Amino acid sequence: MSQLKLLLQVALRNLFVSKINILIGGIIFFGTVLVVVGGAFVDSMDEAMSRSIIGSVAGHIQVYSERSKDELSLFGQMGGEPDLSALDDFAHIKELVQKHPNVKTVVPMGTSGALITSGNTVDLTLARLRDLYKKAAQGDTPELREQIHSLQAHVRHIISLIEEDMKRRSAIVDEAATDPADVEALARARSEAFWADFDKAPFDSLEFLENRIAPQMTDGDMVYLRYVGTDLVNFQKTFDRMRIVDGGPVPQGRRGMLLSKFFYEESFKLKTARRLDLIKEARDLNHKTIALDPQLERWVKENQSQTREIIFQLDPIKTKQAVERLQRALGSQETDLGKLLPTFLAMDDANFDTRYQQFYSELAPLLDLYRIRIGDDLTITAFTRTGYVQSINVKIFGTYQFDGLEKSALAGGLNLMDLMSFRELYGYLTAEKKAELEKLQAASGVQEVKREDAESALFGEEGSATLVAEATPGLIDEDKQLDGLAQKLHREELATRVYTQQEIESGVVLSAAVLLKDPEKLEQTLAELQASAKDSGLPLRVISWQKASGLIGQFVLVAKLVLYAAVFIIFVVALVIINNAMMMATLQRVREVGTLRAIGAQRSFVLSMVLVETLVLGLVFGTLGATVGGIIMRMLGRVGIPAGNEALYFFFSGPRLFPSLHVSNLVEAFVIVLVVSALSTFYPAFLATRVSPLRAMQTDE
Predicted confidence band of residue 462 (pLDDT cuts 50, 70, 90): low
Which amino acid is present at 522? L
- Best CA proximity match to 236, nearest among 397, 61, 89: 397
pLDDT at 637 over 80: yes
pLDDT confidence tier of residue 461, bands split at 50, 70 and 90? low
CA neighbor of 250 nearest in space, from 269, 227, 234, 263: 234
Residue spans of the domains in the chain: they are 2-52+554-698, 121-220, 271-369
Question: What distance in Å separates the CA atoms of residue 76 and residue 58, rounded to the nearest whole number?
Answer: 13
Question: Per residue in 415-435, pLDDT tens?
Answer: 999 999 999 888 875 555 556
Q: What is the pLDDT of residues 430-449, one digit of tens each?
A: 555 556 556 655 665 556 65
> How confident is the model over 472-495, as a mean pLDDT?
47
Alpha-carbon distance of 470 to 545, in angstroms, equals 60
Q: Which amino acid is at 364?
A: A
End-to-end CA distance of the chain: 34
Measured distance CA(635)–CA(637) in Å, rounded: 5
Residue 470 is predicted with a pLDDT of 47
Task: Give the whole-angstrom CA distance, residue 494 versus residue 486.
Answer: 11
- Position 468 pLDDT exceeds 60: no
Confidence of residue 699 (pLDDT cuts 50, 70, 90): low
β-bridge pairing 389-402 and 242-247: antiparallel
Which pLDDT does position 655 carry in this prediction?
A: 81
| 3-class SS of residue 642 | strand
Spatial separation of the C-alpha atoms in residues 167 and 151, rounded to whole Å: 24
| Residue 559 and residue 40 in contact, taking contact as beta carbons nearer than 8 Å | no
Q: For residue 464, is pLDDT > 60? A: no
CB 697 within 8 A of CB 599: no
CA separation for the pair 400, 224 (Å, rounded) = 18
Q: How far is CA 607 from the centre of its chain?
A: 59
Neighbouring-strand partners of residue 109 = 230, 511
Please state the rounded mean pLDDT for residues 624-629. Answer: 88
Yes or no: say if 151 and 128 are a contact pair by the CB < 8 Å rule.
yes
| Helix ranges (DSSP H) in 173-270 | 180-190, 192-196, 202-208, 232-238, 261-268
CB 570 within 8 A of CB 580: no
Q: How far apart (Å, rounded) are the C-alpha atoms in residues 442 and 437? A: 9
Reduced to 3 states, what is the DSSP secondary structure of residue 471? coil
Give me the sign of the Cα torsion angle 505, 506, 512, 514.
Answer: positive
pTM: 0.74
568: nearest Cα among 17, 9, 38? 38
What pLDDT is attached to residue 474? 43
Looking at residue 197, what is its pLDDT?
A: 86
- Percent of the chain having pLDDT more than 70? 75
CA–CA dist 667, 581 (Å, integer): 26
The confidence score (pLDDT) of residue 196 equals 86
Return d(Cα 307, Cα 346) in angstroms, integer. 12
Angle of helix 261-268 versus helix 271-285 axis, rounded to 10: 130
The pLDDT score that the predictor gives to residue 328 is 93
What does the pLDDT look like over 523-581, one tens digit per residue? 999 999 999 999 988 889 999 988 888 777 677 677 667 767 776 776 677 667 766 76
| Average pLDDT over all residues of the chain | 79
Q: Taking a C-beta distance cutoff of 8 angstroms, is the pair 399, 265 a contact? A: no
Going by DSSP bridges, is the β-strand pair 389-402/257-260 parallel, antiparallel, or unpaired? parallel
Q: How far is CA 322 from CA 89, 166, 275, 366, in A?
A: 57, 24, 20, 8
Pick the closest to residue 224 from 381, 58, 85, 110 (CA basis).
381
User: Cα–Cα distance between 62 and 209 in angstroms, integer?
Assistant: 49
Q: Compute how many other C-beta atoms are within 10 angstroms of the C-beta atom of residue 64.
A: 27
Least confident among 340-354, 480-494, 665-679: 480-494
Helices (H) and strands (E) in the chain, counts: 30, 12
What is the C-alpha separation between 375 and 395, in angstroms, rounded? 6
129-155 b/e (C-beta count within 10 Å ≥ 16 → b): bbebbeebeeeeeeeeeebbeebbebb
Specify the pLDDT at position 445. 59
Counting Cα atoms < 13 Å in the Cβ hemisphere of 124 gives 24
Question: For the chain, what percent of residues have pLDDT higher than 90?
Answer: 25
**Residue 222 host element (H or E):** strand 222-230
Q: How far apart are CA 442 and CA 482, in angstroms?
A: 10
Distances (CA, A) of 7 to 353, 433, 482, 610: 70, 87, 101, 9
Vertex 643 angle, CA 641 and 645, to 5°: 155
Strands 415-418 and 222-230: parallel
- Is the pLDDT reported for residue 487 higher than 70? no
Determine contact, residues 687/583, Cβ cutoff 8 Å: yes
CB 236 within 8 A of CB 249: yes
R_g over Cα of the chain: 37
Give yes or no for a contact between 130 and 206, defined as CB atoms under 8 angstroms apart. yes
Is residue 117 within 8 Å of 222, Cβ to Cβ?
A: yes
Counting every residue written for the chain, the total comes to: 701
Q: Are strands 389-402 and 377-383 parallel, antiparallel or unpaired?
A: antiparallel
Burial bucket for residue 176 (CB in 10 Å: 0-12, 13-18, 19+): exposed
> Is the model's pLDDT at 450 over the cut of 90?
no
Least confident of 84-93, 172-181, 351-360: 172-181
Phi, psi of 234 (to 5 degrees): -65, -35
pLDDT on residue 303: 93
| Amino acid of residue 625 | G
- CA–CA separation, 617 vs 645, rounded Å? 42
Find the mean pLDDT for residues 222-231: 89
What are the tens digits of pLDDT across the range 358-412? 999 999 999 989 988 899 888 888 887 777 788 888 999 999 999 888 888 888 8
H or E stretch covering 512: strand 511-516
Q: Give yes or no for a contact between 380 and 391, defined as CB atoms under 8 angstroms apart.
A: yes
Query: What type of residue is 371?
Result: R
Question: What is the C-alpha to C-alpha distance for residues 368 and 273, in angstroms, rounded to an integer?
Answer: 11
Closest CA to 343 of 358, 365, 364: 358
Can you name the residues that pair with 117 across neighbouring β-strands? 222
- Nearest CA to 341 out of 350, 330, 353 is that of 330
Please state the rounded mean pLDDT for residues 591-597: 60
Give the range among 58-72, 620-634, 639-653 with minimum mean pLDDT.
639-653
Q: How far apart are CA 671 and CA 122, in angstroms?
A: 69
Interval 154-198: pLDDT, tens? 888 888 878 777 777 666 655 545 678 888 888 888 888 888 888
pLDDT for the residue 549: 82
Q: Which residue, 407, 296, 380, 400, is CA-closest to 644? A: 407
Q: Give phi and psi for 420, each to the nearest 5.
A: -65, -40
pLDDT at position 180 is 82
The pLDDT value recorded for residue 228 is 92
Residues 687 and 586 sit within 8 Å (Cβ to Cβ): yes
